[in-house]
Amino acid sequence: MSIVPTELLDIGEVAARSGLATALRYYERRGLIEPVTRHGLRRQYAPDVLRRLAFVTETRAAGFSIDEIRDVLDASPDDADLRALATRKVSEIEVEIERLRAVSQRLRHVSRCRSQSLFDCPRFTQGLVAE
């Protein structure tokens, strides 16, 4: 006989609290979350699913793939592959931060630039790469 936590969250509550109603079943199919049990046809989740979903949301926004997120969630803290993935992702995120800083500076300049055309403005075009 298995012991089921008493404070389970219904799938509707998880959807409402996480804001991820349309993604829950997808994340379940991909192995990122799993219900503890069912109450009738409705899935029931342990309360820690909300933290797990917050992590999924955060890492998706940072550019992690579903497979990478699953690898992180399934890894043990001493997993060398986890550490390599984390190191690689930190580098990728830092490159993206620098790219976004350049865009931010360019847009800030747009708000004050008086050039006839922005593409005639050397400050605006500095660092732009033509395709």
Last residue of a domain, one of 33, 56, 74: 74
CATH of the domain at 64: 1.10.1660.10
User: Are residues 61 and 91 located together in one domain of the fold?
Assistant: no
78 φ/ψ angles, rounded to the nearest 5 degrees: -95, 15
Residue whose token pair is 């865009």? 103
- Structural domain including 99 reads 82-131
User: Are residues 63 and 87 located together in one domain of the fold?
Assistant: no
User: Are residues 7 and 69 located together in one domain of the fold?
Assistant: yes
| Gap between the Cα atoms of 45 and 9, Å rounded | 5
Report the chain (131 residues): mean pLDDT per 10 consecutive residues: 69 94 94 91 92 95 92 87 89 93 86 82 75 50
**The model's pTM:** 0.72
